Amino acid sequence: MDRIRLVGGNSLNGEIPISGAKNAALPLMIASLLTDEPLVLENVPRLADVKQLERILENHGVDIAVHGRRRGADQMDGQRMTFHAGEIVDTTAPYELVSTMRASFWVIGPLLARMGEARVSLPGGCAIGTRPVDLFLFALEQMGAEIEIDGGYVVARAPAGGLRGARITFPKVTVGATHTALMAATLARGTTIIENAAREPEIGNVARCLVAMGAKISGIDTSTLTIEGVDRLHGATHEVLPDRIETGTYAMAAAMAGGDVLLRNARPEHLQAALDALSQAGVHIGVEERGIRIARNGNGLLPVDVETQPFPGFPTDLQAQFMALMTMADGTSRIRETIFENRYMHVAELARFGADIKVEGQVATVTGKPTLKGAQVMATDLRASVSLVIAGLAARGETIVNRIYHLDRGFERLEDKLSRCGAEIERVAG
């Protein structure tokens, strides 16, 4: 099994291209199931989760093509891919495919809307909490679906004539269920209103793709989405937006190691809460035409308290990275996790660097130290694993991050992007 080896102490200087957002690319790929015409997606990241979802979609009958790199393109630019679900050959998403990635469960919405039936395994993914699918099923039931659980599978059937429009009011903000309800509603009869919808930029990106495919959606980027169902959707070409979580991760890496890094293509409006926290910590944030510049040259880090919240609040997917940064702040910071109940597994691994972190319930208290020491550490989930890389960039001596398949699920060529900017980092084949 591959590992990452790094030696801390080098500042980061240069430019890091931000890849397409995993959390937009996956539902956009799934949206291809809604039409029998080709959907072309640009700026698709090269990730393990993308490859896994390709296998799932191919199982349903989707033909997938990867186009060659355009002349003059950077080798780290995203892929251009075509997804053509001309004929759905199987409405079952089997356990062996769905169990490794939670987002693959979202195929239930398009399959049900287009084919009138779906049989999808209960999902897997990172072990960061139970993350039940009850709100997914609630939304589909509001649209008339009949649902039962059979042998670890969700079996869903649409009524005669297909799904029907409904008013869906989520009791709490849920990204996955918003995506699923939105996609299913595009082909439902009548009007669907989704209240308390998640407002993450990735949902807006998917909604705009659906509009390009012929969907009628209003209220994009707000907490109330109105969808007027149509008889069919057609093909389109759409670009995956830049990954705000990757942006925040490299911003915190540059803040941790020091230096001056331009995050090319990054959009500040997609992670303002995280940028505000970095600014409070004493990091220089500069918004430029080509992206966001992160700089910290000589000045120490100040402690900052954060609380994870749905967008536009501080993202739960940046909580581990920010905790790593705070381990070297001059003082005590407090981090409250409100989204997932089991997302502090990285604390024990950060402690191996010498970090002083105490957890009580959903609150982690971090007492900063002037230095960390490199260590052998183990990745526990996608975002936690990259927090260990961030800590290793500033730690004295060598750090080995084991079980990095988690990293490959969500970060494209991480070691290449960091080494371009001066980090001493390499992948070691296992």
335 marked ligand binding residue: no
133 marked ligand binding residue: yes
339 marked ligand binding residue: yes
Contact assessment for residue 81 and residue 39, using Cβ atoms and an 8 Å cutoff? no
23 marked ligand binding residue: yes
Instruction: Enumerate helices (H) and strands (E) in the chain, giving the number of each.
Output: 14, 24
Question: Edge-to-edge strand order for the sheet containing 92-93?
Answer: 92-93, 117-121, 153-157, 146-150
Q: At what angle are helices 319-326 and 382-394 packed, to 10 degrees?
A: 20
- Write the CA distances from 166 to 144, 158, 191, 213, 281, integer angstroms: 8, 14, 7, 22, 46
264 marked ligand binding residue: no
126 part of the active site: yes
Surface-to-core class of residue 43, CB atoms within 10 Å of its CB (0-12 exposed, 13-18 middle, 19+ buried): buried
383 marked ligand binding residue: no
Question: Helices (DSSP H) in 197-345: which residue ranges?
Answer: 201-212, 244-257, 272-280, 319-326
Query: Which residues touch 150 (CB under 8 Å, ≥6 apart)?
Result: none
172 marked ligand binding residue: no
Taking the C-alpha atoms of residue 185 and residue 192, their distance in angstroms, rounded to an integer, is: 6
Amino acid at the residue 2: D
135 marked ligand binding residue: yes
358 marked ligand binding residue: no
Token readout for 294 is: 């992160």
Strands 363-367 vs 332-336: parallel, antiparallel or unpaired: antiparallel
Which of 39, 113, 126, 378 is catalytic? The answer is 126
What is the residue-wise DSSP string for 302-334?
PP--EEB-STTSB-GGGHHHHHHHHTTSSSEEE
Catalytically active residues are 126
Q: Residues comprising the binding site for UDP-N-acetyl-alpha-D-glucosamine?
A: 102, 131-135, 317, 339
Q: Which residues are annotated as a binding site for phosphoenolpyruvate?
A: 22-23
Question: What residue numbers does the annotated binding site cover?
Answer: 22-23, 102, 131-135, 317, 339
